[in-house]
Amino acid sequence: MAQKSSLSSTKPILLDQKFWQDFAKNNWEKKPLLLKNVKSGLLEMSDAEIFDLLVLYSDRCRKTNNPEGFKFYIQGFKVGAEDVLQVLPVKKDKSLLGYHKRMKDLFSDYCLVCDELLTVNLKKQHLLTDFTNELYRHVGYPNRFSEMGLYLGNYRKTPFGVHVDSCGVFSFPVAGTKKFRLWPSEFGKKNPALDRSFKYDKYKKDSQLLEAGPGDMTYWPSSEWHIAESDGSFSATWSLGIWVDKPQKDMVSESLKSLLDKKLGDVGHKVTTSFKNLHKPSGEVFELPEAYQQSIKLLQTLNSLELQEAFLKSWMQHISLQGFKTIPVTNCKLSVKSEIQLRSDRSLILWQQSITSKEKIYLSFGGVLVESSFKSGLLKLVKALNANKACAVSTYLKGASQKQDLVALQALANAGAVAAIK
Ligand SMILES: [Fe+2]
């Protein structure tokens, strides 16, 4: 299993500043890359650790009777959710290869996909965020998110054939050899028969084949048509997709939504619109109903501070997810008697002072946003937690705002921010 890359004897490639600068300039959304023998925390995770994570996640799915996050394909066909639970890894498999041995006796061609495996375990998540944070620093923070999936099996081809996604993809093989066949986007557009195809021999001469083993890394831009190929032997690969399908204009309109809702007040809640005339006999539409006139007046009172606050709030909420769709949540019921600390010293609770009301603060974690008062103990508590201190809730949350702050703290805890020590 501990198969090494063919160039493993050569000096490992460091993903340092120079690498990321070159990557941003030459490869990001431009051209594919194959790097042999890369030094990255992501690649230091052993197959035994990955197996343990898979079992942990599978156990959770079995317990909740919900295989969400797992997909299973047999001969390219997706298996129904209720059957996925039957084919997940179990502790008795002992290793990835043990699991494979059990599966290959049942299926000649199977593929298990586990999305966001690393995000179920906050302790391991930094391996991923160390990588993505550097990437974001050089190419920008994704407006959508990144997704990390583990692809495992003996499938000969990607179950859905040659395709293009709206994400740039980094792959890190964990076991076995992985081959990715790629075509540039112009070629895909000129040859629509490639789409979802499994038979593409005549197009092979125009493709590029990336062949990677454990310790290697590949990247292809979002526009690249691709398919994974294998000779039917076992492989396991991390795949990190950076979605690039959400333009800034969508970010702006989403940020404005809650501000507009608030501004419009009662007018915004009406579900029918009174009118005098719909249109003239000629069909010309010439007058705006009263509700719109009122809305215009209300919107004219919007000022740049309110806009700034709306954008800052939604930006904070967005980055509190650390670039992912979800981050690991917890089940921890807090009280004033609890003693708590951050679940990870790299995952801070973000906060900001309101621009329009000096008294107010906003706090955010894992996509959740709560409000509190600048004078309340909650901000002091959050600052102490962010400084990596273990904190007794009762030391900070006191007086009239205690109850309200505890509700806000519980919401942050539910999003995965803190762990109770006592
Ligand atoms: Fe894909």
The three-class DSSP label of residue 322 is: coil
3-state secondary structure 350-402: EEEECCCCCCEEEEEECCEEEEEECCCHHHHHHHHHHCCCCEEHHHHCCHHHH
Q: Please report the pLDDT score of residue 159 as a whole number.
A: 82
Q: What is the 224 CA–ligand 1 centroid distance (Å)? A: 9
Q: What's the pLDDT at 119?
A: 64
Q: Record the tokens describing residue 38, joined without a space.
A: 């890369």
pLDDT at residue 2 in the model: 40
**For residue 163, how far is its CA from the centre of ligand 1 (angstroms)?**
6
Give the pLDDT of residue 4: 42
What pLDDT is recorded for position 173? 93
Which amino acid does the sequence have at 287? E
Partners of 419 in beta bridges: 341
For residue 160, the model assigns a pLDDT of 82
How far does the centroid of ligand 1 lie from the alpha carbon of residue 241, in Å? 8
- How high is the pLDDT of residue 122? 67
Q: How far is the CA of 132 from the centre of ligand 1 (A)?
A: 19
pLDDT of residue 390: 97
Domains belonging to the chain, first-starting first, are 13-243 (2.60.120.650), 248-302 (no CATH), 304-422 (3.40.366.30)
Distance from Cα 222 to the centre of ligand 1, integer Å: 9
Distance 301 CA to ligand 1 centre (A): 47
Mean pLDDT, consecutive 10-residue stretches, the chain (422 aa), reads 47 93 98 94 87 91 91 92 94 96 94 81 80 96 94 89 94 94 95 93 96 96 95 92 97 94 92 95 96 95 95 97 84 92 93 94 97 92 97 94 95 93 82
What number of CA atoms fall less than 13 Å from residue 94's CA on the CB side? Answer: 4
